[in-house]
Amino acid sequence: MSHSSSTIGIVGAGIGGLAAAIALRRAGHDVIVFEQARQFARVGADINLTPNAVRALDGLGVGEAARVTAARPSHRISRSYDSGEETSRLEMAEAAEQRYGAPQLTIHRADLLAALTEAVPAESIQLGKRAQSIVQDAGGVTVRSEDGSESRVDALLGADGIHSAVRTAMFGAESPRFTGIVAYRAVVPAERVAGVPNLGAFTKWWGPNPQSQIVTFPLNRGKDVFIFATTAQDTWHLESWTAPGSVEELRAQYADYHAEARALLDACDSVLKTALYERDPMPAWTQGRMALLGDAAHPMLPFMAQGAGMAIEDAVVLARHLEGVDAAGLPAALQRYERARLDRTSRVQLGSRGNNWLRDGGNADWVYGYDAWAEPLAAEEES
């Protein structure tokens, strides 16, 4: 009988790549992660993990570490930007825990990355390896990095984000599309805005057009408030986690918003600004011994807060399909993973573009109630 442990290469040590490394090791495989960065840097902002994402993380054994700095929003509220009228309110925290088996958590993405990195042995992650040339044959995949080093693996996963080199190697070059939307991100100490109600909740202020919104939620166990605001603006194309914006511009963009929303913007000392890019859903993301996951496969607008969640779900479902599979069986197992995930991720990708999620009431179960650890596995393809 053949040995079922294979060596799986993963390009990208982001949220999806690290989650896949943990899940695949638990499924009995050897893993090598190739990450272009020379060291892990503390960049980015706060990230909203809905119950489906937290349940997937809990199964990876990372949930506890993630909870150390995370906040647990009490509710998920939608409000009209001008009147302030509440158009939907879902109870989160304990209620979500009871309904979905996990709460919603809001956490700095660097803390989430640190929790994931802790769970992968250091020798499985190769830093300073920017995958440049990727060639597969019937027996495996050869990855060559920019520094000239080469590795041979039984299968290769592209978890290298929206500008994925693995995706380009598989399907050819095609640039992500600028959506004409920019996002501002800022953090305000909660004590500075203590008079504003609902600071412990996730609140989305729906603006005068589908591109305009302000989202606020607790950060650092409630010590801070995170502000995530978007608006249509096609003069700014820079995609960056670190580029500064102007607080005056931020305030001017939302001058017609309700006083409670404006009070938060007035309290900001600084703001970061990024352009938002996306792609269409793919008809397929597997090819022989190679497959994509996370943003490499399905980059989406942040309006449903599901990008990281989908990457973590992908990782879990992928590893479940590869458990007990030997090197010869990897191409078929990767196809089954794709089949199990494509419909859901495409639906969320298009739903994020539509930006109507939970605007007026609505039932969150199909997104929040998904259990990546229990969803049925895709069956063998009939021949």
Which spans of this chain sit near ligand FAD (rule: CB under 6 A)? 11-17, 34-37, 47-48, 130-131, 159-161, 165, 183, 274, 294-296, 302, 305-309, 311
Give the DSSP letter string of 230-286.
EEE-TT-----SS-B--HHHHHHHTTTS-HHHHHHHHT-S--EEEEEEE-PPPS--E
The nearer residue to ligand FAD, 15 or 188, going by C-beta atoms, is 15
Give the DSSP letter string of 184-247.
EEEEEEGGGGTTSTTTTSEEEEE-SSTT-EEEEEEEGGGTEEEEEEEEE-TT-----SS-B--H
Q: How far is the CB of 256 from ligand FAD (least distance, A)?
A: 23
The nearer residue to ligand FAD, 80 or 117, going by C-beta atoms, is 117
The nearer residue to ligand FAD, 82 or 359, going by C-beta atoms, is 359
Q: How far is the CB of 314 from ligand FAD (least distance, A)?
A: 8
Backbone angles phi, psi at 351, to 5 degrees: -65, -35
Q: How far is the CB of 306 from ligand FAD (least distance, A)?
A: 5
Q: How far is the CB of 158 from ligand FAD (least distance, A)?
A: 9
* DSSP β-ladder status, 7-11 and 30-35: parallel
The nearer residue to ligand FAD, 52 or 335, going by C-beta atoms, is 52
Task: From 273, 177, 178, select the one nearest 234 (Cα to Cα).
Answer: 178
How is residue 331 written in tokens? 């191409």
Q: How far is the CB of 35 from ligand FAD (least distance, A)?
A: 5
The nearer residue to ligand FAD, 27 or 311, going by C-beta atoms, is 311
Q: What is the dihedral of CA 117, 241, 203, 201, to 10 degrees?
A: 40
Q: How far is the CB of 108 from ligand FAD (least distance, A)?
A: 11
The nearer residue to ligand FAD, 17 or 59, going by C-beta atoms, is 17
